[in-house]
Amino acid sequence: MPQAQTATVTIRIATKDDALAAGKICYDAFAAISNAHNFPPDLPAPEAGIGILTALFTSPGFYCVVAEVGGRIVGSNCLDERAVIHGLGPITVDTSVQNLGVGRKLMSAVLDRSSQRGAAGVRLVQAAFHNRSLSLYAGLGFDVREPLSCMQGRTQQRSVAGCTVRKAASADLEACNVLSHRVHGFDRGADLAHAIEEGTAKVVERGGNITAYATDLAFFGHATAQSNQDMQALLASAESFGGPGVLVPSRNAELVRWCLLNGLRVTQPMTLMSSGLYNDPAGAFLPSILF
């Protein structure tokens, strides 16, 4: 597609029926950039891309768009609107039309939406080896906030003294939201409520208080903790992490070293970026692949 034709790109709201075409593009685009840098693909097969986009395109609290050229879908982007901070992604563009302006249009569509909705900020996580996505986001006003190490494995230490890890229940929601406010300045209660319903969420209790929670110990889950000790309890409770792994902030040297000493392996470097409000977290955290 010659550059002049990018003017013919139209952006519209995604529907469930778009997930088949957009999901294949999502798989191909991530596989292509990962292969080019000798990293394993984020998604195991096209069906995973289709499954994720079917879920996002039909989930309340998400605003999703597709890009079309001549009636053919050439990319998609999603915005998680469930908190006062919005989470962006996955954004992907058909490999045959990348670097021609389609990604910028998909970004503008969800950033316009986010500002119309009065979000305090927008965040995303990008593959640190991807020059183009870093440049696109930085050019659109996103600042690099945290280098992340995606980590996978099973910790040798299987529990942390004084910390009890258990499945989260609806009754834990309020305490988790208070914890999130203390650490991040806002809560992600809708996301956590959904994870509790799905049965993936966990909490840590220490000294009679909830000191950490995770929506899931996985690429698509986030975790917030009062201290590294509480985060270690969550990590030690998992047999493995869903998808490519959990996203450990690389500047949290104590936590990173604990993970390494416990046998976890780094699978890829990633970067947390933000536009708008950002507070340095006052505690330990693992962002999800959205933020």
Ligand X SMILES: CC(C)(COP(=O)(O)OP(=O)(O)OC[C@H]1O[C@@H](n2cnc3c(N)ncnc32)[C@H](O)[C@@H]1OP(=O)(O)O)[C@@H](O)C(=O)NCCC(=O)NCCS
Q: Which is nearer to ligand X, 98 or 288 (CB)?
A: 98
CA dist., res. 212 & res. 228, Å (int): 10
Stretch that binds ligand X, among 44-52, 92-100, 182-190, 201-209 (CB under 6 A): 92-100
Whole-angstrom distance, CA of residue 158 vs CA of residue 165: 11
162: left (phi over 0), alpha (psi -120 to 50) or beta: left
| Residue listed under structure tokens 């995973």 | 48
Q: Which residue is nearest to ligand X (CB)?
A: 103
User: Per CB under 6 A, does 139 bind ligand X?
Assistant: yes
Q: How far is the CB of 88 from ligand X (least distance, A)?
A: 8
Pick from 69, 127, 203, 217 the residue near ligand X by CB under 6 A: 127
231 binds ligand X (CB under 6 A): no
Interface with ligand X includes 101 (CB under 6 A)? yes
- Least distance from C-beta 86 to ligand X, angstroms? 15
Binding flag, residue 89, ligand X (CB under 6 A)? yes
Task: Tell me the angle at which helices 173-184 and 189-198 cross, rounded to the nearest 10 degrees.
Answer: 140
Work out whether the CA dihedral 162, 168, 174, 176 comes out positive or negative.
positive
DSSP per position, 227-272: SHHHHHHHHHT-SS-BTT-EEEETT-HHHHHHHHHTT-EEEEEEEE
Could you say whether residue 92 binds ligand X (CB under 6 A)? yes
Starting at the edge strand that comes first in sequence, how are the strands of the sheet with 209-214 ordered? 164-167, 202-206, 209-214, 223-225, 284-286
Stretch that binds ligand X, among 57-65, 87-95, 167-175, 198-206 (CB under 6 A): 87-95
- Does 150 help bind ligand X (rule: CB under 6 A)? no
Binding span for ligand X by CB under 6 A among 123-131, 142-150, 231-239, 240-248: 123-131
Looking up tokens 């690429």, which residue turns up?
219
Instruction: Name the residue among 93, 87, 97, 50 with its Cα closest to residue 276.
Output: 87
| Shortest separation between residue 92's beta carbon and ligand X, angstroms | 4
Tell me which residues in 1-20 interact with ligand X (CB under 6 A): none
Among the listed residues 76, 114, 126, 215, the single contact to ligand X using CB under 6 A: 126
Compare residues 143 and 198 and give the one whose CB is closer to ligand X: 143
- Tell me: does residue 154 bind ligand X (CB under 6 A): no
Angle at 122 between CA 26 and CA 132, to 5 degrees: 45
Look up residue 204 and give its amino acid: V
Q: Smallest distance, Å, CB 179 to ligand X?
A: 28
Q: Two tokens at 163?
A: 């910390």
Q: 238, 239, 256: which is closest to 247 by C-alpha?
A: 256
Q: Is 131 in the site for ligand X (CB under 6 A)?
A: yes
Binding mask 27-66 for ligand X (x = CB under 6 A): --xx--x---------------------------------
Query: Out of 23, 49, 103, 243, which residue is the one contacting ligand X (CB under 6 A)?
Result: 103
Chain residues binding ligand X by CB under 6 A are 29-30, 33, 89-93, 98-104, 126-127, 130-133, 135-136, 139
